[in-house]
Structure 1
Protein backbone atom coordinates (compact mmCIF):
# COMPACT_ATOMS: atom_id res chain seq x y z
CA UNK A 1 0.00 0.00 0.00
CA UNK A 2 1.50 3.33 -1.03
CA UNK A 3 1.44 5.97 1.67
CA UNK A 4 0.20 9.49 1.17
CA UNK A 5 2.64 12.41 1.12
CA UNK A 6 1.66 15.47 3.16
CA UNK A 7 2.19 17.80 0.18
CA UNK A 8 0.59 15.78 -2.61
CA UNK A 9 -1.98 13.09 -3.16
CA UNK A 10 0.56 10.26 -3.25
CA UNK A 11 4.21 9.81 -2.45
CA UNK A 12 5.63 9.49 -5.97
CA UNK A 13 8.78 7.82 -4.70
CA UNK A 14 6.83 5.17 -2.80
CA UNK A 15 4.54 4.47 -5.76
CA UNK A 16 7.51 4.16 -8.14
CA UNK A 17 9.30 1.78 -5.79
CA UNK A 18 6.17 -0.37 -5.48
CA UNK A 19 5.55 -0.44 -9.24
CA UNK A 20 9.19 -1.29 -9.98
CA UNK A 21 9.19 -4.20 -7.54
CA UNK A 22 9.48 -7.59 -9.27
CA UNK A 23 7.76 -10.51 -7.52
CA UNK A 24 8.82 -13.84 -9.03
CA UNK A 25 6.30 -16.15 -7.35
CA UNK A 26 2.92 -15.18 -8.75
CA UNK A 27 0.62 -12.18 -9.35
CA UNK A 28 1.37 -9.06 -7.34
CA UNK A 29 -1.20 -6.28 -6.81
CA UNK A 30 -0.34 -2.71 -5.84
CA UNK A 31 -3.09 -0.90 -3.89
CA UNK A 32 -2.87 2.90 -3.86
CA UNK A 33 -5.01 4.52 -1.19
CA UNK A 34 -6.70 7.88 -1.27
CA UNK A 35 -5.66 8.56 2.30
CA UNK A 36 -3.16 7.45 4.90
CA UNK A 37 -4.31 4.06 6.16
CA UNK A 38 -1.55 3.39 8.66
CA UNK A 39 -0.59 -0.06 9.82
CA UNK A 40 -4.16 -0.93 10.71
CA UNK A 41 -5.22 -0.33 7.11
CA UNK A 42 -2.34 -2.47 5.91
CA UNK A 43 -3.57 -5.40 7.98
CA UNK A 44 -7.25 -4.89 7.20
CA UNK A 45 -7.30 -4.14 3.49
CA UNK A 46 -4.21 -5.51 1.73
CA UNK A 47 -5.44 -9.10 1.74
CA UNK A 48 -8.69 -9.06 -0.21
CA UNK A 49 -9.75 -12.66 0.09
CA UNK A 50 -13.52 -12.47 0.12
CA UNK A 51 -14.05 -14.97 -2.70
CA UNK A 52 -11.28 -17.43 -1.88
CA UNK A 53 -11.65 -19.16 1.46
CA UNK A 54 -8.80 -21.60 0.69
CA UNK A 55 -6.17 -18.93 0.09
CA UNK A 56 -3.31 -18.73 2.58
CA UNK A 57 -1.99 -15.29 3.46
CA UNK A 58 0.81 -14.18 5.75
CA UNK A 59 1.26 -10.63 7.00
CA UNK A 60 4.93 -9.65 7.17
CA UNK A 61 6.27 -6.33 8.42
CA UNK A 62 9.39 -4.89 6.81
CA UNK A 63 11.58 -5.60 9.85
CA UNK A 64 11.31 -9.39 9.47
CA UNK A 65 13.50 -12.06 7.92
CA UNK A 66 11.79 -15.39 7.20
CA UNK A 67 13.02 -18.95 7.34
CA UNK A 68 13.29 -20.86 4.03
CA UNK A 69 10.70 -23.21 5.50
CA UNK A 70 8.09 -20.71 6.65
CA UNK A 71 5.60 -21.48 3.89
CA UNK A 72 6.08 -25.25 4.12
CA UNK A 73 5.10 -24.97 7.78
CA UNK A 74 2.16 -22.69 7.01
CA UNK A 75 0.76 -25.06 4.39
CA UNK A 76 1.07 -27.92 6.85
CA UNK A 77 -0.64 -26.23 9.80
CA UNK A 78 -3.37 -24.66 7.66
CA UNK A 79 -4.19 -28.12 6.30
CA UNK A 80 -4.23 -29.67 9.78
CA UNK A 81 -5.89 -26.94 11.82
CA UNK A 82 -7.46 -24.52 9.34
CA UNK A 83 -10.98 -25.88 9.83
CA UNK A 84 -10.91 -25.45 13.59
CA UNK A 85 -13.16 -22.71 14.92
CA UNK A 86 -10.87 -22.10 17.91
CA UNK A 87 -7.78 -21.29 15.80
CA UNK A 88 -7.65 -17.61 14.87
CA UNK A 89 -4.35 -17.82 13.02
CA UNK A 90 -0.77 -19.03 12.90
CA UNK A 91 2.33 -17.24 14.21
CA UNK A 92 5.78 -17.47 12.64
CA UNK A 93 7.80 -16.03 15.51
CA UNK A 94 9.84 -18.40 17.65
CA UNK A 95 9.87 -16.34 20.83
CA UNK A 96 6.75 -15.28 22.69
CA UNK A 97 6.68 -13.39 25.97
CA UNK A 98 4.70 -14.64 28.92
CA UNK A 99 1.98 -12.01 29.01
CA UNK A 100 1.24 -12.42 32.70
CA UNK A 101 4.54 -10.69 33.58
CA UNK A 102 6.13 -9.78 30.18
CA UNK A 103 9.01 -12.21 30.72
CA UNK A 104 10.51 -14.03 27.73
CA UNK A 105 9.83 -16.78 26.99
CA UNK A 106 6.96 -19.23 27.42
CA UNK A 107 9.38 -22.19 27.39
CA UNK A 108 6.91 -24.95 26.58
CA UNK A 109 8.48 -28.42 26.53
CA UNK A 110 9.63 -29.27 22.99
CA UNK A 111 7.75 -32.56 23.23
CA UNK A 112 4.85 -30.31 22.19
CA UNK A 113 5.76 -29.40 18.62
CA UNK A 114 3.03 -26.78 18.40
CA UNK A 115 0.80 -25.10 20.95
CA UNK A 116 -2.23 -22.84 21.06
CA UNK A 117 -1.74 -19.55 22.91
CA UNK A 118 -4.33 -16.94 23.80
CA UNK A 119 -2.26 -14.02 22.46
CA UNK A 120 -1.52 -13.54 18.77
CA UNK A 121 1.94 -12.84 17.31
CA UNK A 122 2.71 -9.90 15.03
CA UNK A 123 6.16 -11.03 13.85
CA UNK A 124 4.68 -12.93 10.94
CA UNK A 125 0.98 -13.73 11.27
CA UNK A 126 -1.12 -15.90 8.98
CA UNK A 127 -4.84 -15.48 9.71
CA UNK A 128 -7.19 -18.43 9.63
CA UNK A 129 -9.33 -17.29 6.71
CA UNK A 130 -12.80 -18.04 8.08
CA UNK A 131 -12.12 -16.55 11.51
CA UNK A 132 -10.39 -13.52 9.99
CA UNK A 133 -13.34 -12.65 7.74
CA UNK A 134 -15.70 -12.94 10.71
CA UNK A 135 -13.46 -10.59 12.70
CA UNK A 136 -13.27 -8.04 9.86
CA UNK A 137 -17.07 -8.07 9.62
CA UNK A 138 -17.31 -7.53 13.39
CA UNK A 139 -14.68 -4.82 13.66
CA UNK A 140 -16.39 -1.45 14.25
CA UNK A 141 -13.77 0.51 12.32
CA UNK A 142 -14.12 -1.68 9.26
CA UNK A 143 -17.91 -1.91 9.48
CA UNK A 144 -18.35 1.86 9.56
CA UNK A 145 -15.97 2.34 6.64
CA UNK A 146 -17.79 -0.21 4.50
CA UNK A 147 -21.04 1.65 5.14
CA UNK A 148 -19.45 4.97 4.20
CA UNK A 149 -19.99 6.38 7.70
CA UNK A 150 -17.48 8.41 9.73
CA UNK A 151 -15.67 6.61 12.52
CA UNK A 152 -16.92 8.41 15.63
CA UNK A 153 -17.54 6.28 18.67
CA UNK A 154 -17.30 2.50 18.59
CA UNK A 155 -15.74 0.50 21.39
CA UNK A 156 -12.13 1.72 21.55
CA UNK A 157 -12.29 4.35 18.80
CA UNK A 158 -13.35 7.97 19.26
CA UNK A 159 -13.30 10.95 16.90
CA UNK A 160 -9.88 12.56 16.65
CA UNK A 161 -8.02 9.54 17.97
CA UNK A 162 -5.48 7.69 15.88
CA UNK A 163 -6.72 4.14 15.32
CA UNK A 164 -3.21 2.77 15.62
CA UNK A 165 -1.90 -0.76 15.67
CA UNK A 166 -1.84 -1.01 19.44
CA UNK A 167 -5.51 -0.01 19.65
CA UNK A 168 -6.36 -2.48 16.90
CA UNK A 169 -4.30 -5.23 18.54
CA UNK A 170 -6.13 -4.81 21.84
CA UNK A 171 -9.45 -5.00 20.03
CA UNK A 172 -8.37 -8.15 18.21
CA UNK A 173 -7.26 -9.74 21.49
CA UNK A 174 -10.64 -8.85 22.99
CA UNK A 175 -12.42 -10.41 20.02
CA UNK A 176 -10.43 -13.67 20.05
CA UNK A 177 -10.79 -14.07 23.81
CA UNK A 178 -14.53 -13.47 23.67
CA UNK A 179 -14.82 -16.08 20.92
CA UNK A 180 -12.42 -18.52 22.67
CA UNK A 181 -9.90 -18.44 19.83
CA UNK A 182 -6.17 -19.11 20.04
CA UNK A 183 -3.10 -18.56 17.85
CA UNK A 184 -1.05 -21.61 16.91
CA UNK A 185 2.71 -21.33 17.48
CA UNK A 186 5.56 -23.60 16.46
CA UNK A 187 7.80 -24.90 19.24
CA UNK A 188 11.21 -25.67 17.79
CA UNK A 189 14.26 -26.32 19.96
CA UNK A 190 15.98 -23.18 21.19
CA UNK A 191 12.95 -21.01 20.37
CA UNK A 192 13.88 -21.08 16.70
CA UNK A 193 11.35 -19.21 14.61
CA UNK A 194 10.04 -19.17 11.07
CA UNK A 195 10.39 -15.38 11.14
CA UNK A 196 12.98 -13.26 12.91
CA UNK A 197 12.32 -9.72 14.12
CA UNK A 198 15.53 -7.70 13.73
CA UNK A 199 13.94 -4.33 14.52
CA UNK A 200 16.19 -2.31 16.83
CA UNK A 201 13.27 -0.70 18.63
CA UNK A 202 13.37 2.84 17.23
CA UNK A 203 10.72 5.24 18.51
CA UNK A 204 8.15 4.79 15.75
CA UNK A 205 8.21 1.02 15.90
CA UNK A 206 5.69 -1.17 17.66
CA UNK A 207 7.94 -3.80 19.18
CA UNK A 208 11.57 -4.06 20.18
CA UNK A 209 13.49 -6.51 18.06
CA UNK A 210 15.42 -9.67 18.67
CA UNK A 211 18.63 -8.74 16.83
CA UNK A 212 20.59 -6.32 14.73
CA UNK A 213 19.36 -7.17 11.25
CA UNK A 214 22.09 -9.63 10.26
CA UNK A 215 21.76 -12.31 12.92
CA UNK A 216 19.96 -15.48 11.76
CA UNK A 217 20.53 -17.49 14.94
CA UNK A 218 16.85 -17.14 15.74
CA UNK A 219 15.70 -18.63 12.42
CA UNK A 220 14.90 -22.25 11.65
CA UNK A 221 17.39 -23.08 8.89
CA UNK A 222 17.11 -26.88 8.82
CA UNK A 223 14.01 -29.02 8.29
CA UNK A 224 13.38 -32.64 9.22
CA UNK A 225 10.38 -34.84 8.45
CA UNK A 226 9.84 -35.16 12.20
CA UNK A 227 8.54 -31.57 12.17
CA UNK A 228 5.63 -32.78 10.02
CA UNK A 229 4.38 -35.25 12.64
CA UNK A 230 2.07 -32.86 14.47
CA UNK A 231 -0.67 -33.70 16.98
CA UNK A 232 -4.31 -33.82 15.99
CA UNK A 233 -5.10 -31.53 18.91
CA UNK A 234 -2.30 -29.25 20.19
CA UNK A 235 -1.87 -28.26 23.82
CA UNK A 236 -3.49 -25.05 25.02
CA UNK A 237 -1.35 -22.57 26.96
CA UNK A 238 -2.55 -19.66 29.10
CA UNK A 239 -0.83 -16.28 29.58
CA UNK A 240 1.22 -17.57 32.54
CA UNK A 241 2.81 -20.22 30.32
CA UNK A 242 0.89 -23.08 31.90
CA UNK A 243 -0.59 -25.85 29.78
CA UNK A 244 -4.33 -25.84 30.45
CA UNK A 245 -5.37 -28.61 28.07
CA UNK A 246 -3.28 -31.52 26.83
CA UNK A 247 -3.01 -32.83 23.32
CA UNK A 248 -4.57 -35.98 21.93
CA UNK A 249 -1.80 -38.10 20.32
CA UNK A 250 -2.08 -38.76 16.61
CA UNK A 251 -3.10 -42.30 15.67
Structure 2
Protein backbone atom coordinates (compact mmCIF):
# COMPACT_ATOMS: atom_id res chain seq x y z
CA UNK A 1 0.00 0.00 0.00
CA UNK A 2 1.09 3.55 -0.70
CA UNK A 3 0.09 6.27 1.69
CA UNK A 4 -0.62 9.95 0.99
CA UNK A 5 1.74 11.66 3.43
CA UNK A 6 0.79 15.26 2.76
CA UNK A 7 -1.31 17.51 0.49
CA UNK A 8 0.00 21.04 0.05
CA UNK A 9 -1.77 23.87 -1.73
CA UNK A 10 -0.08 25.75 -4.59
CA UNK A 11 -1.29 28.62 -6.80
CA UNK A 12 -4.07 28.63 -9.39
CA UNK A 13 -6.11 25.87 -7.77
CA UNK A 14 -3.30 23.31 -7.85
CA UNK A 15 -2.18 20.92 -5.10
CA UNK A 16 0.91 18.79 -4.56
CA UNK A 17 0.13 15.28 -3.33
CA UNK A 18 3.16 13.75 -1.57
CA UNK A 19 3.29 9.94 -1.45
CA UNK A 20 5.08 7.61 0.94
CA UNK A 21 7.14 6.13 -1.89
CA UNK A 22 8.70 9.53 -2.50
CA UNK A 23 6.62 10.41 -5.58
CA UNK A 24 4.62 13.61 -5.93
CA UNK A 25 1.58 14.42 -8.05
CA UNK A 26 0.41 17.93 -8.94
CA UNK A 27 -3.36 17.97 -9.38
CA UNK A 28 -6.23 20.41 -9.86
CA UNK A 29 -8.65 20.91 -6.98
CA UNK A 30 -11.35 19.10 -8.98
CA UNK A 31 -9.18 15.98 -9.25
CA UNK A 32 -8.26 16.22 -5.58
CA UNK A 33 -11.92 16.09 -4.59
CA UNK A 34 -13.02 13.53 -7.18
CA UNK A 35 -10.35 10.99 -6.21
CA UNK A 36 -10.47 11.80 -2.48
CA UNK A 37 -6.75 12.47 -2.30
CA UNK A 38 -6.57 13.20 1.43
CA UNK A 39 -3.65 13.00 3.84
CA UNK A 40 -3.43 9.58 5.44
CA UNK A 41 -5.33 7.73 2.72
CA UNK A 42 -3.75 4.48 1.53
CA UNK A 43 -3.86 3.30 -2.09
CA UNK A 44 -2.91 0.04 -3.79
CA UNK A 45 -0.54 0.15 -6.77
CA UNK A 46 -3.49 -0.47 -9.08
CA UNK A 47 -5.60 2.28 -7.49
CA UNK A 48 -2.71 4.71 -7.73
CA UNK A 49 -2.20 3.84 -11.41
CA UNK A 50 -5.90 4.47 -12.12
CA UNK A 51 -5.78 7.79 -10.25
CA UNK A 52 -2.63 8.86 -12.07
CA UNK A 53 -4.09 8.04 -15.51
CA UNK A 54 -7.34 9.83 -14.68
CA UNK A 55 -5.45 12.91 -13.54
CA UNK A 56 -3.31 12.84 -16.67
CA UNK A 57 -6.46 12.64 -18.77
CA UNK A 58 -8.05 15.57 -16.91
CA UNK A 59 -4.92 17.68 -17.27
CA UNK A 60 -4.60 16.86 -20.98
CA UNK A 61 -8.25 17.69 -21.58
CA UNK A 62 -8.06 21.01 -19.71
CA UNK A 63 -4.78 21.88 -21.45
CA UNK A 64 -6.27 21.14 -24.86
CA UNK A 65 -9.32 23.30 -24.10
CA UNK A 66 -7.06 26.16 -23.09
CA UNK A 67 -5.02 25.71 -26.27
CA UNK A 68 -8.20 25.80 -28.36
CA UNK A 69 -9.52 28.86 -26.53
CA UNK A 70 -6.94 31.12 -28.23
CA UNK A 71 -8.04 30.10 -31.73
CA UNK A 72 -9.42 27.16 -33.68
CA UNK A 73 -7.02 24.25 -33.94
CA UNK A 74 -6.82 21.32 -36.30
CA UNK A 75 -6.91 17.71 -35.19
CA UNK A 76 -3.21 17.45 -36.06
CA UNK A 77 -2.28 20.56 -34.05
CA UNK A 78 -3.96 19.19 -30.92
CA UNK A 79 -2.14 15.89 -31.25
CA UNK A 80 1.20 17.63 -31.69
CA UNK A 81 0.53 19.91 -28.73
CA UNK A 82 -0.46 17.08 -26.36
CA UNK A 83 2.25 14.80 -27.71
CA UNK A 84 4.92 16.88 -26.00
CA UNK A 85 3.73 15.73 -22.58
CA UNK A 86 1.21 12.86 -22.70
CA UNK A 87 1.11 9.23 -23.77
CA UNK A 88 -0.63 8.24 -27.00
CA UNK A 89 -3.53 6.44 -25.31
CA UNK A 90 -4.36 9.55 -23.26
CA UNK A 91 -4.15 11.74 -26.37
CA UNK A 92 -6.46 9.36 -28.26
CA UNK A 93 -9.08 9.54 -25.50
CA UNK A 94 -8.85 13.34 -25.16
CA UNK A 95 -8.99 13.96 -28.92
CA UNK A 96 -11.94 11.60 -29.25
CA UNK A 97 -13.83 13.49 -26.55
CA UNK A 98 -13.00 16.87 -28.07
CA UNK A 99 -14.24 15.69 -31.46
CA UNK A 100 -17.47 14.34 -29.92
CA UNK A 101 -17.98 17.70 -28.24
CA UNK A 102 -17.17 19.50 -31.54
CA UNK A 103 -14.26 21.39 -30.07
CA UNK A 104 -12.16 19.81 -32.82
CA UNK A 105 -13.67 19.88 -36.29
CA UNK A 106 -11.33 19.93 -39.25
CA UNK A 107 -14.03 21.09 -41.65
CA UNK A 108 -14.82 24.08 -39.42
CA UNK A 109 -11.09 24.74 -39.07
CA UNK A 110 -10.61 24.69 -42.85
CA UNK A 111 -13.62 26.97 -43.39
CA UNK A 112 -12.37 29.48 -40.82
CA UNK A 113 -8.87 29.48 -42.31
CA UNK A 114 -10.31 29.97 -45.80
CA UNK A 115 -12.38 32.96 -44.67
CA UNK A 116 -9.45 34.50 -42.82
CA UNK A 117 -7.11 34.21 -45.81
CA UNK A 118 -9.78 35.43 -48.22
CA UNK A 119 -10.91 38.42 -46.16
CA UNK A 120 -7.77 39.57 -44.32
CA UNK A 121 -4.83 38.72 -46.59
CA UNK A 122 -3.72 38.89 -50.21
CA UNK A 123 -3.00 35.15 -50.34
CA UNK A 124 -4.56 32.83 -52.87
CA UNK A 125 -6.22 29.39 -52.74
CA UNK A 126 -2.96 27.58 -53.46
CA UNK A 127 -1.56 28.73 -50.11
CA UNK A 128 -4.75 27.59 -48.39
CA UNK A 129 -4.29 24.16 -49.95
CA UNK A 130 -0.67 24.04 -48.79
CA UNK A 131 -1.59 25.07 -45.24
CA UNK A 132 -4.40 22.53 -44.97
CA UNK A 133 -2.12 19.76 -46.23
CA UNK A 134 0.43 20.74 -43.59
CA UNK A 135 -2.27 20.19 -40.97
CA UNK A 136 -3.17 16.81 -42.52
CA UNK A 137 -6.75 17.79 -43.27
CA UNK A 138 -8.69 15.20 -45.29
CA UNK A 139 -8.32 15.52 -49.05
CA UNK A 140 -12.03 16.01 -49.77
CA UNK A 141 -12.18 18.91 -47.30
CA UNK A 142 -9.07 20.47 -48.85
CA UNK A 143 -10.56 20.16 -52.34
CA UNK A 144 -13.90 21.67 -51.32
CA UNK A 145 -12.47 24.63 -49.40
CA UNK A 146 -9.79 25.41 -51.98
CA UNK A 147 -12.36 25.32 -54.80
CA UNK A 148 -14.66 27.65 -52.85
CA UNK A 149 -11.76 30.05 -52.25
CA UNK A 150 -10.81 29.97 -55.92
CA UNK A 151 -14.40 30.71 -56.99
CA UNK A 152 -14.56 33.68 -54.59
CA UNK A 153 -11.54 35.36 -56.19
CA UNK A 154 -12.80 38.14 -58.48
CA UNK A 155 -11.37 40.81 -60.77
CA UNK A 156 -11.54 43.44 -58.04
CA UNK A 157 -9.22 41.41 -55.80
CA UNK A 158 -6.79 40.66 -58.61
CA UNK A 159 -6.64 44.25 -59.87
CA UNK A 160 -5.97 45.50 -56.35
CA UNK A 161 -3.02 43.12 -56.20
CA UNK A 162 -1.84 44.43 -59.59
CA UNK A 163 -2.03 48.04 -58.44
CA UNK A 164 -0.12 47.22 -55.26
CA UNK A 165 2.74 45.68 -57.25
CA UNK A 166 2.60 48.42 -59.89
CA UNK A 167 3.39 51.10 -57.31
CA UNK A 168 6.75 49.45 -56.67
CA UNK A 169 7.57 48.53 -60.25
CA UNK A 170 9.96 50.38 -62.56
CA UNK A 171 10.32 48.84 -65.97
CA UNK A 172 8.58 47.66 -69.13
CA UNK A 173 4.94 46.70 -69.46
CA UNK A 174 5.87 43.29 -70.78
CA UNK A 175 8.18 42.46 -67.89
CA UNK A 176 5.67 43.75 -65.39
CA UNK A 177 3.11 41.28 -66.67
CA UNK A 178 5.59 38.41 -66.37
CA UNK A 179 6.82 39.38 -62.91
CA UNK A 180 3.29 39.93 -61.66
CA UNK A 181 2.28 36.47 -62.79
CA UNK A 182 5.31 34.97 -61.00
CA UNK A 183 4.47 36.90 -57.83
CA UNK A 184 0.83 35.85 -57.91
CA UNK A 185 1.80 32.21 -58.35
CA UNK A 186 3.94 32.37 -55.21
CA UNK A 187 0.92 33.85 -53.41
CA UNK A 188 -1.17 30.85 -54.42
CA UNK A 189 -3.15 32.13 -57.39
CA UNK A 190 -3.84 30.14 -60.53
CA UNK A 191 -3.75 30.98 -64.25
CA UNK A 192 -7.49 31.66 -64.38
CA UNK A 193 -7.08 34.33 -61.70
CA UNK A 194 -4.36 36.08 -63.68
CA UNK A 195 -6.78 36.31 -66.60
CA UNK A 196 -9.10 38.45 -64.44
CA UNK A 197 -6.56 41.30 -64.39
CA UNK A 198 -7.13 44.34 -66.58
CA UNK A 199 -3.92 45.54 -68.24
CA UNK A 200 -5.62 48.21 -70.37
CA UNK A 201 -4.64 51.07 -68.07
CA UNK A 202 -2.46 54.14 -68.29
CA UNK A 203 0.80 52.61 -67.08
CA UNK A 204 3.50 54.65 -68.81
CA UNK A 205 6.77 52.80 -69.26
CA UNK A 206 8.42 55.72 -71.11
CA UNK A 207 10.29 57.24 -68.12
CA UNK A 208 11.73 53.81 -67.26
CA UNK A 209 12.65 53.16 -70.88
CA UNK A 210 14.46 56.48 -71.17
CA UNK A 211 16.40 55.80 -67.98
CA UNK A 212 17.39 52.29 -69.07
CA UNK A 213 18.33 53.48 -72.55
CA UNK A 214 20.64 56.19 -71.23
CA UNK A 215 22.27 53.82 -68.74
CA UNK A 216 22.87 51.08 -71.30
CA UNK A 217 24.00 53.48 -73.99
CA UNK A 218 26.66 54.96 -71.72
CA UNK A 219 27.82 51.52 -70.61
CA UNK A 220 28.19 49.99 -74.07
CA UNK A 221 29.60 53.19 -75.61
CA UNK A 222 32.80 52.53 -73.68
CA UNK A 223 33.41 49.31 -75.64
CA UNK A 224 31.44 49.56 -78.88
CA UNK A 225 30.50 51.99 -81.60
CA UNK A 226 28.43 52.24 -84.76
CA UNK A 227 26.21 49.31 -85.69
CA UNK A 228 27.64 47.06 -82.96
CA UNK A 229 26.79 49.63 -80.28
CA UNK A 230 23.21 49.89 -81.57
CA UNK A 231 22.94 46.11 -81.64
CA UNK A 232 24.18 45.71 -78.03
CA UNK A 233 21.80 48.38 -76.73
CA UNK A 234 18.89 46.87 -78.67
CA UNK A 235 19.56 43.36 -77.34
CA UNK A 236 19.83 44.58 -73.75
CA UNK A 237 16.57 46.54 -73.93
CA UNK A 238 14.75 43.63 -75.57
CA UNK A 239 15.81 41.42 -72.66
CA UNK A 240 14.23 43.94 -70.31
CA UNK A 241 10.93 43.61 -72.14
CA UNK A 242 10.85 46.82 -74.20
CA UNK A 243 9.37 46.63 -77.70
CA UNK A 244 11.68 46.48 -80.71
CA UNK A 245 9.85 49.32 -82.48
CA UNK A 246 10.22 51.58 -79.44
CA UNK A 247 13.95 50.88 -79.30
CA UNK A 248 14.43 51.50 -83.00
CA UNK A 249 12.47 54.73 -82.78
CA UNK A 250 14.83 55.93 -80.07
CA UNK A 251 17.86 54.93 -82.13
CA UNK A 252 16.26 56.35 -85.25
CA UNK A 253 18.25 59.56 -85.61
CA UNK A 254 21.60 57.87 -85.13
CA UNK A 255 23.65 56.61 -88.07
CA UNK A 256 26.30 53.91 -87.91
CA UNK A 257 28.96 56.54 -88.59
CA UNK A 258 27.87 59.11 -86.01
CA UNK A 259 26.80 56.85 -83.14
CA UNK A 260 29.42 56.38 -80.49
Q: Same fold (TM over 0.5)?
A: no
Which structure carries more relative contact order (alpha carbon 8 Å, separation 6+)? 1
Greater Rg over alpha carbons, structure: 2
With the shorter chain as reference, the TM-score category is under 0.3
More strand by share: 1
- TM-score (structure 1 length as normaliser): 0.21
More helix by share: 2
- TM-score (structure 2 length as normaliser): 0.20
